[in-house]
Amino acid sequence: MAVGVFDSGLGGLTVHQAIARRMPDLPLVYLGDNAHAPYGVRTADNIYDLTCRAVERLWDEGCDLVILACNTASAAALRRMQENWLPPGKRVLGVFVPLIEAMTERQWGDNSPPREVAVRHVALFATPATVASRAFQRELAFRAIGVDVEAQPCGGVVDAIEDGDEMLAEALVRSHVEALKRRMPHPEAAILGCTHYPLMEQIFREALGEGVRVFSQADLVAESLEDYLHRRPEFIGPGTSSRFLTTGDPARVTAKATQFLRQPIQFESA
């Protein structure tokens, strides 16, 4: 048994990498639904159906615990899955809550009423589907009050990254930051609400300017997972090997993933 990490494409590799760095002995199975990427322009029902299918595939690999390393899937599908679909003994966790807990400086599992926090003006950069779901704002409202969130749907960025077109991705990031700053000139914090975006983190920082605290998810999710497994060790299991699976063409995805992370990664067909 291993822990499953799911993403619509390559973006979740940033989360996988952070988990592997923090817990090098933890077996992981990564599944990228590259055949259907990107999710950010799909309907909520379509995202839900694709995410359920992917999670079931990871269950087949013995992954009773699955991390939705895709913000779009976490936003559009996670709550519905947890409320109506998950069987006993299975767990699916998303990537929003660790981020919000870090931003609001609340400990994991802190269920006290929402309260005022230091950050008042937050810029959220995410896919169109994540922005449309308002899932980030909903989760934030459980933990904080008085926070103004300005969300920018970053169309095209994921496609450019998946295609390996870094120049286009950089130009799109700068354009999206400029568009947001016209509506919120002085954000105090910025959320990179897509697991692809850490690859463009330096560009986001340059475009936002000094004084904006940028929150990126990978290390926060890895830290949260380590805490979860410390409390629920039964989800670690006795597995010893890690695998990378894709619904797309393994050779093409392998080449793109190697370019993406600048280290060799070998994908197999899911």
- Taking the mean position of all CA atoms in its chain, how far away is CA 248? 20
Cβ neighbors of 171 (< 8 A, separation 6 or more) are none
CA-based torsion, 116, 122, 101, 78: positive or negative = positive
Give 227: exposed, middle or buried? Use CB within 10 Å, 0-12, 13-18, 19+.
middle
In the sheet with 28-32, reading across from the earlier edge strand, the strands are: 91-93, 65-68, 3-7, 28-32, 243-246, 268-269
**Residue 93 carries which side chain, given as an amino acid letter?**
L
Whether the link from the prior residue into 38 is cis, omega within 30° of 0, is yes
Per the listing, tokens 């954000």 go with 187
Q: State yes or no: is 63 an active-site residue.
A: no
Give the distance, in angstroms, between the CA of residue 151 and the centroid of all CA atoms in the same chain: 16
Segment (H or E) for 194: none
Tokens of 130: 């994540």
Measured between alpha carbons, how far is 108 from 214 in angstroms, rounded to an integer? 20
DSSP string, 207-220: HH-TTPEEE-SHHH
Q: Could you give the CA distance from residue 68 to residue 83 in angstroms, rounded to a whole number?
A: 16
Q: Which residue among the candidates 52, 63, 70, 154 is catalytic per the annotation?
A: 70
Residue matched to tokens 């400086």 = 105
Q: Which residues are catalytic?
A: 70, 194
